[in-house]
Amino acid sequence: MPKSDFEDDIINNSYQATIDKLDNLPRLPDTTNELIKKSAMTHPSVPLGSGINPKYRYDKLAFSGEGIIFTFITALLQDLYPEIDKESASALRTKLTSPSLFSALSVYYNLPKEMTISRHLQDKVCHSIKSTSEMFVAHLGGLYYAYEKEHLDASNGERLVGSTDGTQKKQSSQDKDKSKKKKLNTGIARPALKSRDTNIADELIQAESNEVNHIQASSQSYIQLIPFLKAVFLPLAQALHDPTEDENRRLKAMSEGSKAELHLLLGRDKMQMPIYTQDKILPEDGKGESGLNWRVRCTVIFPHQQIIIREEGIAPNSKDASNIAAYLALQKVREIKGNSGKRKRGESDT
C-alpha cells in the first residue's frame, strides 16, 4: 500500500480514540427534506441527474458544512478559552476542523454504511479519511439547507396569506380614493406614475423582501444547528485542548535568540558553556512520528557557588526546544547573578 493511502486509511486515524473516550454524544439529526437528504447521502460516484439544485450538490453541501463548523468553532473557542493567545486558539481550531476528526465523527455516526456509493469504489471510499470526512460535513450542510428551506417555505406561506388580505384591503382603499377624487376634483391633477415605473418599484420592494426573508431563514437554520454542534464540539474542544501546548507556544515566542544570549552572557564571565541533551517524545498512540516532540535539557554549572541549573524545553523540533530550555536557564542565571547579567539598552556585545 502506498504511503499516502496508508496515511489516509481510517484504521490509522488517531482521532477515533478521542471520539471513543467521549460519553453521550448526541444523536445525529435526520434531514427532513428528502431531496436534500438524497443528495447528502449519495456519493458523487453515483449520478443524481440534472434536476438537482446546484447548491444542494454533494460537494457544495460539504463546502457549506465546513464553513458552518468553522464559524461555530471560532465563536465557541472565544467563549470557552478567552485567555489563550491567537496562535493557540488557531491551533486548537485546526484540530477541531481537521478531516481526521470529521472522519472519526462519520464513523461514529455510521455514515459510511448508510451512503449510496458506486460498488467499485465502496471499499476505497469507506476506508478513506478524506472521503469519510466529507460525509459528515455534507450531512451537516444538508441539515442546514433543509432547515433553511423549511423556514423559507413557512415565511412564503405567511406572505401569501398576507398578500391576499392586503389585496382586498388595497382594492377597498382604491374604491374609496376614487369616490373622494370625484367629490374633490378641482381640475388640477398630479402626474400619475406610469405603469412601468410602478412595476419596477414593486419588483425592487419584492427583491428586498426576498433578501430579508432569506437572511432570516439562514440565521434561523444556523441557530437550529447550534444545540447539536455544541453537544459535539464542546467536549471535543475540552478533550483536545492542552494547556502545556499553549505554554510551549508562549515560551517559543519569548525564547527567540535566548540560546545565543545565554552563551554570550556565560562567555563574558568566562564560565563553562551550557550542556545540552535531547530525546524524542513519541505520541501516546505510538503510530509513526506524527505528533512527535523533542525534549532538550539545558544544564548550566556555577562551579564556585556549587550551583547547577537544569531546565528543559519541549517543542516539535529540537531548535525550538533548545531555545526554550536556554530561555528558562537564562532567567535562572540572571536571578543568581542579580541584574549584572542583564544588558542595558544600547550596550555593545563586544
CA distance 139 to 228: 13
Question: What's the Cα-to-Cα distance from 248 to each of 144, 254, 338, rounded to whole Å?
Answer: 38, 10, 26
- Sort 111 into a burial class: Cβ within 10 Å, 0-12 / 13-18 / 19+: buried
How many other CB atoms are found less than 10 A from the CB of residue 85?
13
pLDDT at residue 165, rounded to an integer: 53
Q: CATH 1.10.1520.10 region(s) of the chain?
A: 1-175+199-241
Q: CATH 3.30.160.20 region(s) of the chain?
A: 243-341
CA distance 232 to 72: 11
- SS3 annotation, 97-124: CCHHHHHHHHHHCCHHHHCECCHHHHHH
pLDDT at residue 174, rounded to an integer: 53
pLDDT at residue 24, rounded to an integer: 87
pLDDT at residue 293, rounded to an integer: 87
pLDDT at residue 163, rounded to an integer: 52
pLDDT at residue 201, rounded to an integer: 73
Name, in order, each residue with C-beta under 8 angstroms of 254's C-beta and a sequence gap of 6 or more.
Answer: 327
CA distance 168 to 276: 88
CA distance 317 to 280: 9
Question: What's the Cα-to-Cα distance from 7 to each of 13, 39, 129, 287, 288, rounded to whole Å?
Answer: 8, 28, 8, 10, 10
Q: Which of 164, 343, 173 is CA-nearest to residue 264?
A: 343
Residue 323 cell numbers, joined: 531555545
CA distance 103 to 85: 28
How many percent of the chain have pLDDT more than 90?
55
Residue 343 cell numbers, joined: 544588558
| CATH topology for the 243-341 domain | Double Stranded RNA Binding Domain (3.30.160)
Residues 240, 144, 60, 126, CA torsion sign: positive
- Is there a contact between 304 and 272 (Cβ–Cβ < 8 Å)? no
Low-confidence ranges of the chain (pLDDT < 50): 1, 3, 180-184, 186, 339-350
Looking at 3.40.470.10, 1.10.1520.10, 3.30.200.20, 3.30.2310.20, the CATH number of the domain 1-175+199-241 comes to: 1.10.1520.10
Contacts 24+ apart (CB under 8 A), 147-155: 147/220, 147/221, 147/224, 147/225, 148/217, 148/218, 148/220, 148/221, 149/33, 149/36, 149/217, 150/32, 150/33, 151/216, 151/217, 151/220, 151/221, 152/213, 152/214, 152/217, 155/213, 155/216, 155/217
Helix axes of 243-254 and 318-337: crossing angle, nearest 10 degrees: 70
Residue 268 cell numbers, joined: 563574558
pTM for the whole thing?
A: 0.70
pLDDT digits (tens, 9 = 90+) for 151-198: 988 877 665 555 555 555 555 555 555 554 444 454 555 555 555 666
CA distance 332 to 215: 58
